[in-house]
Amino acid sequence: MLSVVVVSYNTKEITLQCLRRLKEADEVIVVDNASEDGSAEAIKNKFPKVRLIANKKNAGFAGANNQGMREARGEWILLLNSDAYVLPETLPQMKKFMITHPVCDVAGCQLVNADGTIQASYGFFPTLRRIVLFMLFVDNFPFIRRRIDSIHVRDKSRYATTVEVDWVTGAFIWLKREVWEKTGGLDEKYFMYGEEAEWMYRIKKAGFKVFYTPQAKCIHLQGKSTKSLAKAFAGEAKGFLYWFSKHNPRWQQLILPWILLGGGIYKAIAWTVLGNRQWARANWGITDEIWHATFGKSK
């Protein structure tokens, strides 16, 4: 039995479209994070068989997914973003993959844009070295990105084969129920961005295996605006700070903020030189957020 958990927040039409495509799911649970656009009412009216959890307050991505997993009854659980659309063959293909790869405990499929182009779908856990490469754009240089163990794998040719990985993108996470039961789910101190990688770090420490496979595909309507991408980057950078406070030695915790600040300034200057004032302003804003998160006040 497969239980699909979808978190909804002010994305009524997108969420409804997501739910229309889940015909192969045995159970669908929607956790609505106090949406103000009528999402909960629309879901209740159009999909009466969906198990709806209507939160009065926004519990965040991690908290809402944990709520859904607590209610799930399947031996398999799929965490699916509301802006992720499965294809007719996606769920059957993933079931087949899990059955034919019993060593796999957590899996992510190939995420694609609406036009079919491939998105970054997996990566490696953050370390000081990887964060430096990430902040300086080095992990996106041609030739280097084909082999480098970057936080986000950017070379699209690497998405053609099934491979064991550190973590898969949170838009589509298929897992065995025992993974949830033994690891306790996502860390709810993360409100958004980076929580799936931290959870999979604990998942792998518990002895489970995580795989990426292109044997199934899912459309992900990833945010494209400068504002949304800047917000995601700032959230991820603050997530690095929390990760290191939880898992890394003190000396690395002291170094990390300066890497993030230096990288933010570097990117702001680089975008200014390249004439992209929007991205320059966004990176100055990100730098200010990192400073505030680390030292408790703005520069």
How confident is the chain (299 residues) per 10-residue block, as mean pLDDT? 96 95 96 94 95 94 95 97 96 97 98 94 96 88 88 94 97 97 93 88 98 97 60 82 96 95 90 86 83 69
Q: Give the pLDDT score at 226.
A: 43
**Domain range spanning residue 270?**
226-295
Last residue of a domain, one of 220, 236, 263: 220
Based on the fold, state whether residues 187 and 235 are members of the same structural domain.
Answer: no
166 and 114 both lie in a single domain:
yes
DSSP, collapsed to helix, strand or coil, labels residue 131 as helix
The pLDDT of residue 219 is 97
What's the pLDDT score for residue 27? 97
Judge if 34 and 94 occupy the same domain: yes
187 with 288, same domain: the answer is no
Task: Work out the burial of residue 266: count CB atoms within 10 Å of its CB; fewer than 13 is exposed, 13-18 middle, 19 or more buried.
Answer: middle
Q: Do residues 142 and 192 both lie within one domain?
A: yes
Statement to judge: residues 142 and 9 lie in one domain: yes
> In terms of DSSP bridges, do strands 122-123 and 2-8 run parallel, antiparallel, or are they unpaired?
unpaired
The Cα–Cα gap between 85 and 83 comes to 6
Amino acid 163: pLDDT: 97
Query: How much is the pLDDT for 299?
Result: 46
CA 24 to chain centre: 23
What per-residue confidence (pLDDT) applies to 277? Answer: 85
Please, are residues 113 and 119 in contact by the beta-carbon 8 Å criterion? yes
Backbone angles phi, psi at 193, to 5 degrees: 85, 115
- Nearest one of 222, 170, 218, 223 to 21, comparing CA atoms: 218
Q: What pLDDT shows up at residue 230?
A: 66
Query: Among 172, 197, 220, which residue terminates a domain?
Result: 220
Distance from C-alpha of 289 to C-alpha of 297, rounded to nearest angstrom? 9
Rounded CA gap, 68 and 60, in Å?
12
Q: Pick from 194, 220, 246: which residue ends a domain?
A: 220
- The tokens for 64 are 């809402």
Shared domain check, 242 and 115: no
Does residue 135 sit in the same domain as residue 272?
no
Together in a domain, 253 and 183: no
CB burial of residue 49 (10 Å; 0-12, 13-18, 19+): exposed
Same domain, 49 and 107: yes
Whose tokens are 């002291």? That residue is: 254
Q: For the chain, how many structural domains are there in total? A: 2
Give, rounded to a whole angstrom, the gap between the first and last alpha carbons of the chain: 52
Task: Tell me the pTM.
Answer: 0.92
- What is the CA angle 52-78-164, rounded to 5? 160
Regarding whether 213 and 190 lie in a shared domain, the answer is: yes
| Pair type for strands 210-220 and 84-86 | antiparallel
